[in-house]
Every structure is written in C-alpha cells, then in structure tokens.
Amino acid sequence: MRKQYQIEILESVSQTVYIPNELNLHTHLTSLAFGTHSVDAAFVLHKGKKKSIVLSKDVAEALNFPDLNIPLHAFANNGTLYIGPLVGIFTSGFTSFPLRPVGDRTLFFAKLLSVKKTVGAIPFLFGEQHINWDQGTIQGLFYHQEGWVTHEVPFPNVVYDRLPNRKSERRNELKEVRDRLQKEYLIPWYNPGFFNKLDVYERLQNEKAISRYLPETHPFSSYSVIERMLADYGQVFLKPVNGSLGLGIHQIIYDKKEGFYYCRYREQDENRLRRYSSLENLMRHVFAGRNLNRMLVQQGIHLLRYNQRPIDFRIHTNKDENGEWRITAAAAKIAGPGSVTTHVKSGGVIKTLDEVFETADEKEEALEKLTAAALSISSALEQNMEGIIGEIGFDFGLDRKGSIWLFEANSKPGRSIFKHPRLREFDLLTRKLSLSFAVFLAEASITKPEAIFR
C-alpha cells in the first residue's frame, strides 16, 4: 500500500524541502518535481516524527503547486522526489458558465474529481484552449466543495481521456494535443479513443480463449449474408459499426411457420415492430436512404428473460492502483416493452443481479461466468488495442443454456446503471479506480518508463 503525505507550505525558509525520515531513501535528493516541473532544493529531515512533506514558499511557487490540502504520493528516482500525481482529465465542450463549465457533464466531472483525497491525487479538467505551450502550464479547472476554481499548474504526470464523442476525437487540434503531450513530454495518456464494434470483434476472434464469447459478426455485404444467418439463428441484429447508446440497432426475425420477416427498431422515440413478406421488402422500407456499408450483422441470441423480457448484463472493469484488472460493477438491464435494446431511453430498466435471479446459487453461477469473461476479455483487449486502457464497460448476454456472449465493449462506458440506489457504491468504486490507475501510471512512468512506453 502506497503511503500518502500531507503537503505543507512554509514562508520562513528558502529553497528547502522537509521530509519525514522514512523518505530518506538512501539516495541524495537534489530536486523536487510536481507534474512536469522540477526545482532544485535542499532536503532536510524532520526532527521528531512528523509525517508531512513541507515546501518552502518559493519552491511551491516555482512548481506552480496549488495548496489544496490533499495528501499526495511521493516517488523518488535519480535524485528527484516526485509528489503527486497531477492528473489532467482531457475533454471538450467547455462553456462560459462558471457553475457549469462543461454543461450537462459538469455533475459527472464534479463527482469524479471529488474522490481526490481518498486516492491521493490532484485531478483537474482541461481542454486544448487551456494549454500554454510556451510556459509548459495549463489553466486547469479544479473542483472543491465551494465549486469550480482555476489554478495554473504544470503539465500533468498522467492524462485521462474523457472526450465526449467520436466527433471531438476526430478533431485535428485535439489529436495534436494528445500526440504532443505523449511524444514530446512522455506523459502517459489512458483510455484514448472509442472502440469500433467490428474492430473489436476482428481483433478478438483469433484469441482462442475469447472467441467462444463472440457471436458471429460480419460487416454488411449483401442480403444473402442476412438470409443465411437467419436460417442458422432465426434472428439477427443490424448495428452501426460506430454506434452508441443503442441508437440505430435493428432486430430482424424470420418466422419459419408463417414465412414472414419481422423488424424491431426504435424511431422517433417509439419502439416499432413491422412485418414483411420478404427480406428485400423489409430492407427497402426500413433502411431506405441508409448507408448499409457502415452496419454490421450479428448473430441473434435467445437470451435469458425476466418477466418475458430479454436481459443483458453490464459489467465494468477497471485497472486498479497496482495496474491489475478488477470487476467494479455488475448490473442487469431489462429491455423495455417491444424494445430492441435494454437502454433506459428505450424503456429499459436497471436491476441488481439479486433482483433478476431466483436463487443465490443461480446469481453466483452467473456472476462467476460474467466475471471470468470480463477479466479475460479486458486483458485480451489490452494486448490487442492501441494505447493504455484503464476501464471498460461490457454488455454481455446470457443465453438459456448458460453460455456468455459479448455484445459490446465500451472504452468510455455510460453510467446509467448507477442511478439504481443499490448500485451507488459501485459508482464510487469506479470513480476511485479510474483515478487510482493514474497513480500506478505516474509511478511506472517515473521508475520504469519502458513498461509504459512500449
């Protein structure tokens, strides 16, 4: 367990840092670093048993160190003592309103930043417009009980990517920020990018231990692929390759007895079910004017049901302060009446696993399977995707035979499950670990950078 130290600032001395005896690391410390700034200083051991790190005021000012009363970690390497970490949370969509600096997402970020004391890190929010490249500083937004305040701080030890959507991710100026901070300043940047459904499938299907969790999936190429999969499975799903929030998903069902094709989808905030005499008619009416080349076709699964409605499961995984994958949340999502997805906006309902399984044994068996799948796929994605991944939200299906199926992996998972009153403790855990992983990355980038910058 890493130790945290209260940081104090002293006005009466100059160019001095007082440290507890336990930080006398048999190395000659000559400088103190905060974020990417460092300053030379004299290091003096505390007399007595004081456990804090005390900076002279001029040292604090040279480091742009904000006095926020947050206990921090300390790492020593090559004569430098690093305090922090300073964690930059990169996003876009800033407003001019001081109380709501990122609009509707302000509350989420306030809650994320509020775990700073328990984690032992200084997190702040910033965008491309807050960076001063010449000075190597950022006008960061910090959240405290009294609200949002701005402090000028050095470039951070670590950046946590919280860009809100694929559109912002594609903007050249935001890509340039990421590239510069990573390449010129060697700052670890975690959770870059949104996953592409087909890309995830193609990268995982060659992993023997993982392929059994993958429903058959293909990019749309012709009606004959849909016909063949309907003959094999009775139902298929058409999904946008880069979709999110369940938007644009269609379920196609073939009724062999009647010879009709059914399509279930959501349009203009209503769940719809249409019947057609042929697949050609269905495609012509439902998908008129759509670019089917951006769709994928996926095997339909006969899912476990709750009150006659399909269930899928949301499992969150996070890397922790030791860089290990952990399950941090598990919930059931029940489809709304006539809905093609389990999303809340389509009438879906969030339940705990206790609520959907009749016995404790059934719940434990399902949770064991879901946990094994989530942890093994997290590790596989980490090996097969670019960048540093720190959290994943999985949507899994459990079929009537007890097999687990991966429907989707999200690098920036939604948080609607945490509105359930019995899942709020998971909300706190996922927030804590998303910043605890920054502590791990900061230490690794200082003491063994070769493990981070492969």
Helix (H) or strand (E) holding 4: none
How many helices (H) and strands (E) the chain has is answered by: 12, 27
Give Cα separations from 71 to 54, 196, 212, 306, 314 (angstroms). 12, 39, 46, 47, 34
Give the contacts of 157 (CB within 8 A, at least 6 positions apart). 35, 36, 82, 84, 85, 86, 87, 187, 188, 438, 441, 442, 445, 446
Q: Do 6 and 54 touch, CB atoms closer than 8 A?
A: no
The pTM of this model reads 0.91
The domain defined by 87-187 folds into Rossmann fold (3.40.50)
The CATH code for residues 197-214+303-442 is 3.30.470.20
Q: Is the pLDDT of residue 163 over 90?
A: yes
Residue-range domain boundaries for the chain: 7-84, 87-187, 197-214+303-442, 217-299
Cis check: omega of the bond before 154, within 30 degrees of 0: no
Question: Residue range 209-222: average pLDDT?
Answer: 92
Give Cα separations from 156 to 165, 188, 279 (angstroms). 23, 9, 55
Q: What is the mean pLDDT of the chain?
A: 91
Instruction: Mean pLDDT check: name the lowest of 88-97, 339-348, 362-371, 418-427.
Output: 339-348
Question: Residue range 114-137: average pLDDT?
Answer: 96
Share of the chain above pLDDT 70, in %: 98
- Residue 182: half-sphere exposure toward Cβ, Cα within 13 Å: 18
Q: CA 266, 269, 271 angle in degrees (round to 5)?
A: 40
Q: Is the pLDDT of residue 172 over 70?
A: yes
Question: How far is Cα 258 from Cα 281, in angstroms, rounded to an integer?
Answer: 16
CA of residue 202 relative to chain centroid, distance: 21
Sorting pLDDT into bands at 50, 70 and 90, what band is 372? very high
Q: Is the pLDDT of residue 418 over 70?
A: yes
Sorting pLDDT into bands at 50, 70 and 90, what band is 244? low
Q: Is the pLDDT of residue 145 over 70?
A: yes
The pLDDT assigned to 389 comes to 95
Q: 423-427 long-range contacts, Cβ below 8 Å, gap at least 24?
A: 423/329, 423/331, 423/350, 423/352, 426/316, 426/328, 426/329, 426/330, 426/331, 427/111, 427/329
What angle do helix axes 106-113 and 424-447 make, rounded to 10 degrees?
60
Sorting pLDDT into bands at 50, 70 and 90, what band is 211? very high
Is CATH 2.40.40 correct for 7-84? yes
The burial class, CB within 10 Å (0-12 / 13-18 / 19+), for 261 is buried
The pLDDT assigned to 292 comes to 86
The pLDDT assigned to 213 comes to 96
The pLDDT assigned to 277 comes to 94
Beta-ladder partners of 88: 124, 159
Query: Please, what sign has the CA dihedral across residues 168, 169, 170, 175?
Result: positive
Question: How far is Cα 251 from Cα 255, in angstroms, rounded to an integer?
Answer: 13
Q: Do 389 and 191 touch, CB atoms closer than 8 A?
A: yes
The pLDDT assigned to 26 comes to 61
Question: Residue range 175-186: average pLDDT?
Answer: 94
What angle do helix axes 360-384 and 197-204 make, rounded to 10 degrees?
90
Per the structure block, which two tokens stand in for 447?
A: 């003491």
The pLDDT assigned to 426 comes to 92
The pLDDT assigned to 240 comes to 86
Q: Is the pLDDT of residue 323 over 90?
A: yes
Beta-ladder partners of 141: 125, 150
Q: Is the pLDDT of residue 452 over 80?
A: no
Q: Is the pLDDT of residue 158 over 90?
A: yes
* pLDDT, tens digit (0-9, with 9 covering 90-100), for 38-80: 999 999 998 777 789 999 999 999 999 999 999 999 999 999 9
* pLDDT, tens digit (0-9, with 9 covering 90-100), for 193-208: 888 888 888 889 988 8
Span between the terminal Cα atoms of the chain, in Å: 26
Mapping DSSP onto H, E and C, the string for 352-410 reads: CHHHHCCCHHHHHHHHHHHHHHHHHHHHHHHHHCCCECCEEEEEEEEECCCCEEEEEEE
Give the contacts of 107 (CB within 8 A, at least 6 positions apart). none
Question: Residue range 5-9: average pLDDT?
Answer: 95
The pLDDT assigned to 246 comes to 63
The pLDDT assigned to 454 comes to 60
Question: Residue range 320-341: average pLDDT?
Answer: 90
